[in-house]
A and B are shown apart, each in its own frame.
Chain A
Amino acid sequence: GAVVSQHPSRVICKSGTSVKIECRSLDFQATTMFWYRQFPKQSLMLMATSNEGSKATYEQGVEKDKFLINHASLTLSTLTVTSAHPEDSSFYICSASSLADRRETQYFGPGTRLLVL
């Protein structure tokens, strides 16, 4: 149980375009979903926290107008990188915490590799 999927797994786009990444909890309802960014050989950095039906809470230094997060249901959150630039190239990982589990436990998706040319 507690499986989280992400789509796509890899995406290559041109500079200036927007890219949408989906995060789904497959077998549980997620009260909260989290979006992280991981640079090569570095740790995961939390970008934002989203709760179903409400606006996401962004971490300091993360541009909310650039990284749009929508959490429309208890099983789906999306991250849209708007007007992507090469410096946005990274590995984006989502996680979800379950209604049924302690909220502190997060289950992670497999990540999405974004390359902006």
Chain B
Amino acid sequence: AQSVSQHNHHVILSEAASLELGCNYSYGGTVNLFWYVQYPGQHLQLLLKYFSGDPLVKGIKGFEAEFIKSKFSFNLRKPSVQWSDTAEYFCAVITGGGNKLTFGTGTQLKVEL
């Protein structure tokens, strides 16, 4: 069965620092990749998604992610984080043309002023 790994469980950064959150998946076929964010007390929101085409995907709030097929990775990046980016970030994958999301365990990001 497919799985999604997020190796960073907790990340603490200062404002204006650059962010990269790792995401690796285990599946050899077609994948659709997603990053979701959950702000404190709020529901999951879609940050960005990759279906096909340009492997560098730009999402909302200045986030981007790069799909590297050879590394089975879909890392999330932001050049300069803000305090308001404090949230939990989930990577997720849909495999084989289906519609079921498999989530990673999440990364809790705390941005300090």
Q: CB within 8 Å of B: which residues of A?
A: 4, 32, 34, 42-46, 49, 93, 95, 97, 102-111
The answer, yes or no, to whether B43 is at the interface (CB within 8 Å) is yes
Q: How far is the CB of B23 from chain A (nearest CB, A)?
A: 12
Contact across chains for A93 and B99 when beta carbons are under 8 A apart:
no
> Chain A binding site: helix, strand, loop or mixed by DSSP?
strand
Contact pick for B51, options A4, A43, A104, A111, CB 8 Å? A104
Contact across chains for A93 and B43 when beta carbons are under 8 A apart:
yes
Q: A49-B99, A103-B99 are in contact. Are A42 and B105 (CB under 8 A)?
A: yes
Contact across chains for B44 and A93 when beta carbons are under 8 A apart:
yes
Contact pick for B32, options A45, A104, A109, CB 8 Å? A104
User: In the complex the two chains form, what is the Cα distance from A108 to B44 in whole Å?
Assistant: 6
Contact pick for A43, options B32, B45, B99, B106, CB 8 Å? B106
- Known A-B contacts: A93-B44, A105-B49. Give 20 more (CB < 8 A): A34-B101, A42-B105, A42-B106, A43-B103, A43-B104, A43-B106, A44-B101, A45-B103, A46-B101, A104-B94, A104-B99, A105-B46, A107-B46, A108-B36, A108-B43, A108-B45, A109-B43, A110-B42, A110-B43, A111-B43
